[in-house]
Amino acid sequence: MTEPALDSQVLLDTHPTHPSAVTATVTGSQAHVAVTALEADGWEIAAENTLVLARIDHEEPYWANETARQLNDAGITTEISGPLRKAIAEEWTWADYPMPWCTRAEIRKVSDEAQKIYDDIRHGRLLIHAHAHDGHTTVAVGTYLDTGKSVYLHGENHLRQVADTFDSAAQALTMFERVHGDSMRPGPAPLTDAERQAAQARAFLGAPDAGTEPSAVQPEPAPAPEVVPAHAADPGDHDALLEEFLAAHGEWQKWSTWSDDTTHAIHESQTLRVERVHEADPQETSWTVAAYETPVSERMWHITATDTAPAPVLRALLNQLADTDTWETAAGSPITDKTVTEATRPLTDAGWNHTVDGRGIRWETPSKDAGVQFDAFAAQNSGRYLPTWTLWAGQNPDRPTWAIHASTYTPAALLSHLTGELAEGIGTRQPTKRVTHSAPAPPPKSPHQPPVPRRR
């Protein structure tokens, strides 16, 4: 039986910049009901009452049509635009599909399972420990944080599948290293083109129509955020990032100082701690992550970050703190060439330039607006508490827009995840509003003088 109609309307339309993504614009006094239903069905909020469905299998029109049926059954009025109706009715198939015996429905089922894996990785539910290339495609091994089940993944994009399961991460990693040890690399694989395009579609809905003249009484709309490399992204809400992390990981507990200006988060082992200073100067340390061999021992390693650090990089750091295999390491392990290579391999793979001077090594983007610096002197004099590693963006490491510092014994696997985010990650940035200088105001006009039209 159809539910009574709600005061909530949804317009489904094609995405302005992505070839297959779909947008949903919600109106009505009960718009929140439709927004909640859309989010539960895999749509993501891109702006107020505007959601996006962007998948890696390019099946958005089909799933948008399924969403429309569910919304109509729930009493929510749904309209599908003409271009989207055309896309829904279009028949197409994958070229050179490796499973030609599958029907269209079976292909869609395979790709939907791949989409779920992709979403689990993206949302931090499936933690990827390592990846490799087997000569044909990408393979990876990871663990579901809610169940503890580890999986061996085979394939990319709409063809990614769970090829095997394991009772523990140790079993999975042992197998993975035995089979793919020569090409094995820590952390998730770099984003594919399909994954990058989907991320851009979720973050960017295009600029307003240039032919639309804004009303004189309407405020100028805020410019759409730009999709930029992770190192150039906005800081976002650091406090919200920490709260999301704590809410998703019950093995962490938090407490605040009496003045509420600092929050501490402590792992249940009491050997890893996070300190967040809420109102630090933008260029001063507002995050400190510290690891200890035992709850009462001296600090083993630490990482600090300024309040201006970009949200994607901080999120990558927090996600890795959920994986004890990433941050647990023996105290006093010396830094070797192998350590440096492992920590910076993502930068090398991404084509960052590196130079060697008398004190260490520096990797920089081709445009020299971000980099990673390894200080060999600090690595050999760890007792001085000089930063051995510096991740930065801006003019140079001495005058950065933001900076992350890591001590000598920071695990190479953890550093590799951070440098991988710098090399391959993306984020959003609000464009800087252009400052214009207006002409001097004209002198008062006579009451009988007709107004002169202002030139636009």
List the domain boundaries for the chain. 9-89, 104-190, 231-429
Determine which of 215-224, 260-269, 365-374 has the lowest per-residue pLDDT on average: 215-224
The pTM of the full predicted model, rounded to 2 decimals, is: 0.53
Inter-CA distances, 327 with 320, 322, 344, 409, 415, Å: 8, 9, 17, 10, 10
- Evaluate whether the domain defined by 9-89 bears CATH number 3.30.70: yes
Whole-number pLDDT of residue 303:
95
- Long-range (24+ apart) CB contacts under 8 A made by 19-22 are 19/58, 20/55, 20/58, 20/59, 20/60, 20/61, 20/87, 21/52, 21/53, 21/54, 21/55, 21/60, 21/198, 21/201, 22/52, 22/53, 22/60, 22/61, 22/64, 22/84
**Residue 277 amino acid letter:** V
Q: What is the bridge-based pairing of β-strands 161-166 and 285-292?
A: unpaired
Provide the percentage of residues in the chain whose pLDDT is more than 90.
39
Whole-number pLDDT of residue 328:
61
Q: Region 299-328: what's the mean pLDDT?
A: 87
Instruction: Render pLDDT for 240-298 as a digit per residue (tens, 0 to 9).
Output: 899 888 888 888 888 866 556 888 999 988 889 999 998 887 778 999 999 988 887 88
Whole-number pLDDT of residue 443:
43
CA distance 186 to 98: 28
Listed residue (40, 44, 5) closest to 24, CA to CA = 44
Instruction: For the chain, give the mean pLDDT.
Output: 83
List the beta bridge partners of residue 161. 154
CA distance 281 to 25: 39
Whole-number pLDDT of residue 269:
86
Instruction: Render pLDDT for 314-368 as a digit per residue (tens, 0 to 9).
Output: 999 998 898 776 666 544 567 888 889 999 999 998 889 999 977 789 999 988 9
Listed residue (196, 411, 433) closest to 312, CA to CA = 196
Whole-number pLDDT of residue 332:
52
